[in-house]
Chains A and B, each alone.
Chain A
Amino acid sequence: MISSLLIPWVPAISVWFALVVQEMALPFESWSVLRPDLVLIALFYWRLYRSDLCGPVLAFAVGLLLDLLSGMPLGLNGFSKVVIVLLVGHFGIRLRAADFLHLLPVVWLLVLLEQGIQWLFFSLLRGSSFYLPLFIGRPIATMLVMPVVVFFLIRIHKSWLEDR
């Protein structure tokens, strides 16, 4: 009974968990630059394979939480995440047909796009603020950790959502 109530929330919970891990303060100086966007990977996965459980509302909510945690202008992450989720939804059929190796550069592009959106709005709201290492580092780091994160997401998917 409880599990059946919980199942629709599995993507949301996994995204929430990705957010918690992503926002951890690891003791590495380069962590702020190389911090992978785990939330985006989770949103990408769930939007691609369970779009019924991962829509713009979830992306917006997680984006708001990220803004609250990171101290960024409220709505900035919400906005960019919603755009990404809509894009993934729009090209979902084609992306699902691609193999995993082709998805890696797609994710890289999506993170880059998200960074670009955030930079654009941040510049409009608080003046220009461009940090090139962050702009390049985060997409690369996200692409590199993606196989690991996707592996766990597939496990969750198969354990909780397969044939349900």
Chain B
Amino acid sequence: MVELFALLKQYRNGLVAILVLVVALVLMLSVRSHDPGRRDLISDTVLDAVGPIQRVLLSPVVVYRQTQARITELRQLDQENTRMKAELKRLRPLGTLLEELAQENRRLHQLLNIPVDSSYYRIAARVVGDSSSAFARSLLINAGREEGVVVNATVVVPEGLLGRVVRVGAHTSLVLTLLDLNSRIPVVVQRSRERAIAAGFNGRKLQLEFVSKVADIEMDDRIITSGTGEGFPKGLVVGRVQQLISGGSGLFRQVTVVPAVDFDRAEEVVLLIPLQTKEAEALPLPDDALPSTP
């Protein structure tokens, strides 16, 4: 027995080595990785022992990766920001154009809604020039003879009467506004039906001529076309009475009217042309079409 122990002691290292090799082989052959029970418990314990240390060791790596991800994200944000700015720069004029088109659409709708005497037909046109000066208040429109425009055609906007055509070209016409010194329009006071002549004097207002001192006219009375004379249909709004002066020794009083139309802002207009004119010229009736814009 003693000899056996001495022998074991002598070959202890070799025996231990053989033993662990055999154990390793037995383990390899007998234990499957999916075997339940003790293996999982040991595995879990080892993982729990290693996991926290690895987490601590990996923390610089985690910080590095987070920083890297953040930098990438910031770079992407920067690129996106640049792209969005370029997009905005590209779209901004489109937004302005969109707003412009919306406003034009609104104005054209209003033009279409102008009530028109059935004995007139209408042509839409766009104001393309303002040839006003100290001695004349006239506008240029992009519709002319070819579009069916005739001299003395009434020009209106949604707010009321603008003037009349005094000269017609092939595709352009000159409009004499109510403010022009040469403009004379037969009008009536809507409330009292007092008649008068609205005259321009190259200013921003109109004067009513031939209004007697006893005429029934008050401040803020609406002035409309009378329909008498040539060209102008009845009932178009001209403006409102702003000032009444009865002083002096004459027969008439001085009446100032503020036009309903803002002449500086007129962009699209409608021309009212008597049907009989068109029939006389044996031209086909045009539709309510807007001429091509310049």
Contact = CB atoms under 8 A, between A and B. Distances in A.
Interface of A: 17, 19-21, 23-27, 55-57, 59-60, 63-65, 68-69, 71-76, 78-79, 82-83, 86, 121, 125
A27 B27 contact: no
Given A20-B53, A20-B57, A25-B58, A78 B46 contact: no
B138 to A, nearest CB: 79
B27 A75 contact: yes
Interface stretch (B18-26, B87-95, B112-120, B202-210): B18-26
Q: With a 10 A CB-CB cut-off, give which of A17, A65, A71, A72 has the most chain B CB atoms.
A: A65
A76 B17 CA distance: 15
Contacts of A75: 23-28, 31
B16 A57 contact: yes
Contacts of A26: 58, 61
Q: Is the interface of A mostly helix, strand, loop or mixed?
A: helix
A79 B26 CA distance: 10
B13 A82 contact: no
Contact of A68 (B28, B29, B42): B42
A21 B16 CA distance: 28
Contacts of B58: 24-26
B4 interface: no
Contacts of B24: 60, 63, 75-76, 78-79, 82
A68 B13 contact: no
Interface residues of B, number: 26
Nearest to B68: A27
A58 to B, nearest CB: 10
A60 B26 CA distance: 13
B21 A79 contact: yes
- Nearest 4 CB-CB pairs, A to B? A75-B27, A79-B24, A75-B28, A75-B24
Interface string B235-263: 00000000000000000000000000000
Interface string B24-54: 1111110101000001001100110010011
B20 A27 contact: no
B193 interface: no
Contact of B61 (A27, A56, A78): A27
Contacts of B46: 65, 68-69
Nearest to B43: A68
A83 B31 contact: no
23 contacts: A19-B50, A20-B54, A21-B57, A24-B54, A25-B58, A26-B58, A55-B16, A56-B17, A57-B20, A60-B24, A68-B46, A69-B47, A69-B50, A74-B28, A75-B23, A75-B26, A75-B31, A78-B23, A78-B27, A79-B21, A83-B21, A121-B28, A125-B29
A74 B39 contact: yes
B53 A74 contact: no
Given A60-B23, A68-B46, A78-B27, 14 more contacts: A24-B58, A24-B61, A26-B58, A60-B24, A65-B50, A69-B46, A74-B28, A74-B31, A75-B24, A75-B26, A78-B23, A79-B24, A82-B17, A125-B29
B65 interface: yes
Contacts of B33: 71-74
A158 to B, nearest CB: 24
Contacts of B47: 68-69
A121 B29 CA distance: 10
A27 B57 contact: no
Nearest to B64: A27
A60 B20 contact: yes
A121 B25 CA distance: 9
A37 to B, nearest CB: 17
